[in-house]
Amino acid sequence: MTNRRTFLKQSAASTGVFYIAKTSWAQKSPGDTMNVAVIGFGGRGKSHISGYKGLKNEGVRIAALCDVDSKVLGKEVDAFDKDKQKVTGYTDLRKLLENKDIDAVSIATPNHWHALASIWAIQAGKDVYVEKPVSHCVWEGRQIVNAARKYSKIVQTGTQSRSSRKGIAEAVKYVQEGNLGKILLSRGLCYKRRASIGKAEGEQPVPESVEYDLWCGPGPKLPLTRKKLHYDWHWTWAYGNGDLGNQGIHQMDIARWFLGEMELSPSVWSVGGRLGYEDDGETANTQIIYHGYEKAPLIFEVRGLAESKEGKNMDKLMQTSQGVKFQPNPGKDGKEGVTGAGVGVIVECEGGTVVVPNYSGAVVFDKDGKEVKKFEGSEDHFKNFINACRSRRVEDLNADILEGHLSSALCHTGNISYRLGAKEAPDAILEKIKGDKLGAESFERMKEHLAKNEVDLSKDKLTIGPVLKMNGKTERFIDHEAANAMLKDKYREPFVVPEIA
């Protein structure tokens, strides 16, 4: 395992342009062992480790682990040792990528590292599995796509719902074949309780086990001003993207999947705020994003507060015999029962509705709310990645990096509108969005939700962002310099996402 003295020597030798001559898994026999490295496993990365361990009979071996927290790294390396499995531990991913025996890397770092780690790995000849969102900003997501194509690498996005081939994929096909008529609305929901992260009251010490310069990487090296370094970065703009880009990216991806859209939306606006408590978080915990696709709008709703001030459950949108209804405490509707989603997707069509309540299935209802069809079934997302690495066929991937880029970018453009917004009274906001009827309806429900949480919008006002027009071909906003400036992050040397991968 890399100690601090060795790390400092390695870092000094690693400055400047990073590039390693590429190798290729295709040079090996499909029967050979595939050596995988997992980068970042303080949270989601543990599932990566578990997933690849489960593929040992498929010729997959975890050969290396990398984490900037030596405490996290040492604990996992020790666990492998106890299982009599030899792994090499790295603190600096650049040193890991120099290891020519590594065929693929699996990235579960904080969001601001996703793109650079992916591109460096691709340049080093590795195939890549990268967690969602694949990027921290729109521009760098497209850079990963470009690098994957240039070097002919297999790059899988960690949106595992894409591997619901007999479930969600079949429901998407069913809708796109016209069985329910025209799509009227694709709605993504992220109603997931998020408690306050508290107030740090000034600068906090970084854990001694963490190489903080490496942790910050391409992001700004800022004083730690929240209580926890790990996980709570999701709620700061420098490193995270809020719950929209954390949990919500899964549902954003499914909602876009049903629409079949392969470009960013031609228009987007957002309204929301961080309400119900005061803490060191910056991102919205209550938010609506309206993507104005020509076929049908994609509306996304984020709620981090419970159904009410004293409540413990989360709100849900339900399919009932009277249509799609908002029901905080769902039960039986007297006939067929109800199916709904709190973290899911609801697609409303001329001839019925599809509810996607989880990661692996979908339920179809007719216009009278009667269940007419159910789709269920999911495959192993990690195994799909490994199989595509062996076949060398991008089309074998269930979640190619292009899909991940587009869905991640829909989260980013929504957040850009929000961050460029201004606080307004509810009536003024409604006046601005009334032209988008379905968006206005979502806003009215948001107001009701916040009132039940005793949020006074006359004092704690919501932020309404501008309507941003997008050129889907260039992935640039039209006539909005401030918005375009937010499509790309500013990077710290030597952790710079390359202009030409």
**SS3 call for 55:** coil
Mean pLDDT of 138-162: 98
Q: Confirm if 219 and 241 have CB atoms less than 8 A apart.
A: no
Q: Where residue 14 falls among pLDDT bands split at 50, 70, 90?
A: very low
Mean pLDDT of 226-246: 97
Per-residue model confidence as pLDDT tens digits over 359-394: 999 999 999 888 999 999 999 999 999 999 999 999
Q: Where residue 42 falls among pLDDT bands split at 50, 70, 90?
A: confident
Per-residue model confidence as pLDDT tens digits over 302-321: 999 999 999 989 999 887 76
Q: CA-to-CA distance for 188 and 125, rounded, in angstroms? A: 36
Per-residue model confidence as pLDDT tens digits over 165-215: 999 999 999 999 999 999 999 999 999 999 999 999 899 999 999 999 999
The helix (H) or strand (E) run that includes residue 476 is strand 476-477
Is residue 116 over pLDDT 60? Answer: yes
Residue 218's Cβ-side half-sphere holds a number of Cα atoms within 13 Å equal to 26
**The model's pTM:** 0.93
Contacts of 353 (CB under 8 A, 6+ apart): 180, 319, 323, 324, 346, 347, 364, 365
The two three-digit tokens of residue 93, written as one number: 């991913």
State the pLDDT at residue 361.
Answer: 96
H runs (alpha helix) in 54-160? 70-82, 93-97, 114-123, 138-150
Q: Confirm if 330 and 316 have CB atoms less than 8 A apart.
A: yes
Question: In the block, which residue shows the tokens 């998407």?
Answer: 172
Question: What is the residue-averaged pLDDT of the chain?
Answer: 92
What percentage of the chain exceeds 90 in pLDDT?
Answer: 86
State the pLDDT at residue 273.
Answer: 98
DSSP 8-state symbol, 202: S
**Long-range contacts of range 170-178, CB-CB < 8 Å, 24 or more positions apart?**
170/362, 170/375, 170/377, 171/258, 171/354, 171/356, 171/362, 171/364, 171/375, 172/257, 172/258, 174/354, 174/364, 174/373, 174/375, 175/258, 175/347, 175/349, 175/354, 176/258, 176/260
State the pLDDT at residue 271.
Answer: 98
Residue 249 φ then ψ, to 5°: -60, -35
The two three-digit tokens of residue 401, written as one number: 């990096």
